[in-house]
Chain A
Amino acid sequence: MEHSRVHNTNNNGRGGQPRLVLEVEDLYVSFGGYRGRTRAVNGVSFQIHQGEILGIVGESGCGKSVTALSLLKLVPMPPGRIDGGTISLHTDDTTVDVTALAQDSREIRAIRGRQISMIFQEPMRSLHPMFSIGDQIVEILLQHFAMNRRQALDKAVALLERVGLPEPARVVHEFPHQLSGGMRQRVMIAIALACEPQLLVADEPTTALDVTIQAQILELLQALQAEMGLAVMLITHDMGVVAEIADRVIVMYLGEIVETASVDQLFTNPQHPYTQGLLRSIPNWTDQPKTPLHSLAGAVPELLDLPAGCVFVERCPFADKVPGLRKPSLIETEPGHFVKCWLYTEEFVHARP
């Protein structure tokens, strides 16, 4: 069902293919510190098309948030640094390499909020505590559009209504502390989508919310995405969220993409040992009571001390059967399904279980 959505949204690209919005190629990001540089993102490449929801999963510290912040050049620099790669944003008439823009430049600021927007993990803290809801929406509208305050405020009320807030005409004059967490996340979505961007980056948008509200926010995102033909990059560590709304999934580990596939492929045929472990560790309600929860062996190594070869070598159950000290490359195992693992090379196919 996810695929039908991709196809019936805008087809202004070549040959019925959805238009390419963003293309990240071989991105490297690192952070300086007292004990040396930490390599947070190591050679990440992916594409996002119009009308597509791309899920990025991985545990804390795998580089997913840094990748997201890099798209808007919001990684604090210093200590952060983009060491290589390009991030190409395709608009109707031009293509811009975001990595080449200065952090406070007019060019990147024209992209932020207008071409690419972002919502964050903690709605309780991502709205300014001292400005009214209306002011916070008006601010982004006035930043990018030529309109007066009155018009902007009317638009703000309309946006609040669109994200499903009751009594938008009243809420527009209220302050964040008067709203619940779910309402605040709706306000954040209204701010992010106010200028009708091409791409919405949602960094764990439901993590801080309780489960019923999570579902509502995901539904809202899905509805707005379909309505606006938006591309969404959804960052999460929740496989359930990915299964529910994403079209394609990227699995990251220690700053690298270890597997990428469509949602159906990934859940029916997970290939990387890390992905397999992740999926096995989701508790199943049909399990007998007291069944021990499955967990991945070992712990995430320190980013300062990365393994030289395969990033997963220290925790991989098949590590003794493959040359783990050499880095595998991303291999296409079925159409659109890529995995970075020695087990899927012809040479080591016999090692697979």
Chain B
Amino acid sequence: MGRAVLRRSVQMVITLWLVSILGFVIIQLPPGDFLTLLESQLEEQRLSSAQIESALTGLRARYGLDQPVYVQYLRWMSSLLRGDLGYSMALRADVNELLSERLVLTLVISFAAMVFSLALALPIGVYSAMKQYSWADYLFTVLGFLGLALPNMLLALILIFLAVTVFNASTIGGLFSPEYITADWSPAKVLDLAKHLWLPAFIVGFSSTAGTIRVVRAQMLDTLGEPFIQTARMKGLSENRVITRHALRVALNPVVSGLGLSLPGLISGETITALVLGLPTIGPLLLNALFAEDMYLAGSILVILSGALVVGNFLADLTLAWLDPRIRLVEP
């Protein structure tokens, strides 16, 4: 077990390193760089070409853009290893500073969405399987497919519309009440966050809820047909115990491995929702960074997202090994 964890950790580091190279190269692919954009902006301000040229040369040297690509990568990488994500040229701020609060909020929303999604999907999935082809099963199936088909941001728009027209909400969207947005963190601010959290969590988690219901239902149906369920009933166990202890336990495996893959999906899935709802999370920041060819910011976010994917997968595998002895005992 310990060796497996160690081996996986080494694999994770290598994967992340490869991703950082790939991410860096992809950001370099579009013609021009951040300064090309800046140049056109300066031109609009009617500066002389000599002034522009000197300003650009200075910036180019400062950001290291006059160096070959691999040198740029190595400089970024070495600072990354020291925990410094670099400097955002477009926003003129340290990437660390830009990301720290947004990263936390993004994780909070993703986690809340995941909890919400599981809390809803597990019972519904199990119920649908046990009452297969009942009217409730059909209802949840229809809702489930609606949830899968409906883009999150459309759901966000509909809910905002309803909130404003039907419930006369004065503020909708955002993660904080206006008075707390710039305030320092305090218990009151956390409470305010909790009050605002349910809507984005619901919206972000909605489509994955629908997907998870389908998975849980199908898995439960498969498992309930297994002979070991018959054995459990033969022992005289109550149907509740047969379902929760014997069937659900086996049915959960693909749900757990799905969760490991869902973290980056939740983060990227919330991008458009975050734009619609005005949430201060990572998604919109990445979008702008990509538009502005702000390579250190974009590269850092890509590495962090991949990190979330790799770590999520790793956690899912550990959980599976903990749940299922068949996986635990396999030594390659």
Contacts and interface: CB of A to CB of B under 8 A. Distances in A.
B237 A109 contact: yes
A126 B228 contact: yes
28 contacts: A72-B234, A103-B239, A109-B238, A110-B236, A112-B234, A112-B235, A112-B236, A113-B234, A113-B236, A118-B234, A120-B227, A120-B231, A127-B228, A127-B231, A128-B228, A128-B250, A129-B228, A129-B326, A130-B249, A130-B250, A130-B326, A132-B325, A139-B237, A143-B237, A175-B325, A177-B326, A177-B329, A188-B231
B40 to A, nearest CB: 62
A126 B226 CA distance: 7
Contacts of B235: 112-113, 139-140, 143, 191
Interface residues of A, number: 32
Interface residues of B, number: 21
B324 interface: yes
Contacts of A74: 230, 233-234
Contacts of B196: none
Contacts of A117: 234
B323 interface: yes
B100 to A, nearest CB: 41
B324 to A, nearest CB: 5
A340 interface: no
Nearest to B325: A175
A243 B236 CA distance: 32
A143 B233 CA distance: 11
B324 A104 contact: no
* Residue of B233, B239, B246 ringed by the most chain A CB atoms within 10 A: B233
Interface of A: 72, 74, 103-104, 109-114, 117-118, 120-122, 125-130, 132, 139-140, 143-144, 175, 177-178, 188, 191-192
B35 interface: no
B323 A130 contact: yes
A125 B228 CA distance: 6
Given A109-B236, A132-B325, A143-B236, A126 B230 contact: yes
Contact of A129 (B230, B234, B237, B250): B250
B131 to A, nearest CB: 11
Contact of A130 (B227, B236, B238, B324): B324
Interface in B202-230: 226-228, 230
Contacts of B249: 130
B252 to A, nearest CB: 10
B138 to A, nearest CB: 16
Contacts of A177: 325-326, 329
State the 4 A-B residue pairs at the shortest beta-carbon distance, nearest first: A112-B236, A126-B227, A113-B236, A140-B235
Contacts, number: 74
A175 B228 contact: no
A118 B329 CA distance: 30
- The interface centre, meaning the residue of A103, A120, A121 with most chain B CB atoms within 10 A of its CB, is A120
Nearest to B229: A128
Nearest to A201: B234
Interface-centre pick from B230, B239, B324 (highest chain A CB count, 10 A): B230
A188 B227 CA distance: 12
B227 A175 contact: no
Nearest to A129: B326
Contacts of B246: 128
B133 to A, nearest CB: 10
B236 A114 contact: yes
A120 B226 CA distance: 11
Contacts of A178: 329
Contacts of B77: none
Interface string B303-318: 0000000000000000
Nearest to A144: B236
Contacts of A111: 236
Contacts of B98: none
Given A126-B231, A144-B236, A188-B231, 16 more contacts: A72-B234, A104-B238, A104-B239, A111-B236, A112-B233, A113-B234, A118-B230, A125-B228, A126-B230, A127-B228, A127-B231, A128-B246, A128-B250, A130-B323, A177-B329, A192-B234
B326 A175 contact: yes
A192 B232 CA distance: 11
Given A74-B233, A130-B326, A191-B231, A125 B226 contact: yes
Contacts of A175: 325-326, 329
A292 B274 CA distance: 77
A34 to B, nearest CB: 11
B231 A128 contact: yes
A231 to B, nearest CB: 16
B223 to A, nearest CB: 10
A126 B228 CA distance: 4
Contacts of A109: 236-238
A336 to B, nearest CB: 31
B226 to A, nearest CB: 6
Contacts of B232: 128
A208 B323 CA distance: 28
Given A114-B236, A130-B249, A140-B235, A120 B230 contact: yes
Interface in B166-204: none
A314 to B, nearest CB: 32
B284 to A, nearest CB: 43
Contacts of B231: 120, 126-128, 188, 191
Contacts of B233: 72, 74, 112
Contacts of A103: 239
A122 B227 contact: yes
A109 B240 CA distance: 12
A159 B232 CA distance: 18
Interface string B242-255: 00001001100000
A109 B232 CA distance: 11
A64 to B, nearest CB: 16
B326 A125 contact: no
